[in-house]
Structure 1
Amino acid sequence: MKRFLRDNGLSLCMLAIFLAALIGQSFAGWAANNEELVEHSQPIIGYGDFVSSSAFLVDVAENWQSEFLQFFVFIFATIWLIQRGSPESKKPGDQGLGTDEEQMVGEHAKPASPLWAKVRGFRGWLYGNSLLITMGAIFFLSWFAQSLGGMVEMNEENAEHGVAPLDWIGYVSSPDFWNRTLQNWQSEFLAVGAMVAFTIYLRQRGSSESKPVGTPHATSSEEAE
């Protein structure tokens, strides 16, 4: 057990923080929702009703979709684009998918390489792009869930004001949907861009996200090795 905790400490720590934050968000959102209901002279709802509501779904999904879009775009961009001096980038000249030898696939695979790295054809292609595909799929599913939940939430508000309901196409083309969506997208890409740029000049000793403290600014981590 000690070895398992040591070898998986980073993943377990992030998972614990995520669950704590999600649970905290659910209780805070529940309280805020009930305060709003009281202000409008409506009956409050139970915790279970809130966490299964469209309002909670939208709040969660709209953040998830922006996070996974960020990863999807960043993973794809770092295949072809470089940023000299950033540990988040390959070194200049290494743009592209890399050779089979560099990627250790097919006949260049090592004995301990994943099984699907040793095969050709569709399975080899699928495994070679599995990270990007997974990030893209989670983004799309989260975005779709956000759009459905947002549509239900907006139509509930429209019904209270005697306004005709919107269909899905009408909602995803509405200013409300894109206002909520782009609020998250812009902050995510600002954070990624800042990380790429800051790590050229700033250091954090001991972090894998930083170059060694004494590495010249224009040198990437790969060039320093």
Structure 2
Amino acid sequence: MGHALTGWRVETADALRHGQDGGTLIEYLGSAPFLSTVFENWESEFLQMAAYVVLTAFLIQKGSSESRDPGAPPRDADLETQARKAGAPAPLRWGAFARAVYSRSLGLALVILFLASFILHWTQSARAAAQEALEHGEAATGTIAYLADPQLWFESFQNWQSEFLSTAVLVVLSIFLRQRDSPESKPVAAPNDQTGD
């Protein structure tokens, strides 16, 4: 709500400076400038979480509570046998392909959400840029051509860098710092070189 209300006020003020009507909040909620910023933010969140989930399956950071313990036995070995356990998710019993997809479904879902958000950010940013170009008497760039526009990538990269910075800081700080009773932290008395929780 804060994003919508403050964005609407900014857009209304900008329209009034140009001698135009600012429009209603409902109109703003369907506008390209608003939708572009919504999906720009969602895109970076889903990219961060997809990278985090997939990379933590392969990479290890010694001493980090955010990393799996390299000495621990694999927890997802022999999924065919585990499928027979009581309470095991049904897709594990649907065959090898279903097990392969289901065993990676969280990462796949996050990648799909990232791609959908990126496409919506891109198309709405292209729409907003075309509207702005027309308001200034310039030729509008098409949606496909806008994919090469530095503005789109500036919007994306400024968000991506903050997401990856925050994840890297969490991984590194979790080596040395603790948060009592948090599942994101090692136990308070754990040594700094303990990997995992």
> Is TM-score (shorter-chain normalized) higher than 0.5?
yes
C-alpha distance in 2 between matches for 1:96 and 1:165: 54
Q: CA RMSD in A?
A: 1.7
Task: Give the structure 1 partner of residue 29 of structure 2.
Answer: 51
Paired residue for 2:133, among 158, 167, 170?
158
State the percentage of identical aligned residues: 34
Give the Å deviation of 1:169: 2.3
Cα distance in structure 1, aligned partners of 2:172 and 2:186: 12
Deviation at 1:120, TM superposition (A): 2.4
Higher fraction of helix: 1
> What SS does structure 2 have at the residue aligned with 1:63?
helix
Q: Please give the per-residue CA displacement for 1:94-123, whole angstroms capped at 9, x wherever unaligned.
A: 6989522xxxx2122321111112342221
- TM-score w.r.t. the length of structure 2 is 0.94
Q: Deviations over 1:105-150 (max 9, x none)?
A: 2122321111112342221112111101100110000000000100
Structure 1 distance, partners of 2:44, 2:71, is 30
188-197 vs 107-116, greater mean Cα deviation:
107-116
Distance 1:185 1:98, change over 3 A: same
Aligned counterparts of 2:174 and 2:133: Cα–Cα separation in 1: 47
Aligned residues: 196
Which of the residues 168, 175, 188 maps onto 1:200?
175
1:179 to 127, 149, 154: 154
Cα distance change on mapping 1:86 and 1:153 into 2, 3 Å = same
Residues 118 and 58 (structure 1 numbering): CA distance in 2 closer, same or farther, change over 3 Å?
A: same
Report the Cα offset of residue 167 of structure 1: 1.4
Deviation (angstroms), 1:188: 0.3
The answer for the alignment partner of 1:106 in structure 2 is 80
Structure 2: runs of 5+ lacking an equivalent = none
Contact kept, 8 Å, 2:82 with 2:88, in 1: the verdict is: no
- Given residue 37 of structure 2, which amino acid in structure 1 is its aligned partner? D
Instruction: Decide which of 75, 84, 95 is 2:62's aligned counterpart.
Output: 84
Alpha-carbon distance, 1:221 to partner? 3.3
Return closer, same or farther for 1:72/1:97 CA change in 2, 3 Å cut-off: farther
The answer for unaligned runs of 5 or more in structure 1 is 1-22
Q: Structure 1, residues 34-91: CA drift from partner, whole Å, max 9, x if none?
A: 0111111111100110001011101100000000000111111111110011111011
| Aligned counterparts of 1:48 and 1:96: Cα–Cα separation in 2 | 51
Partner of 2:43: 65
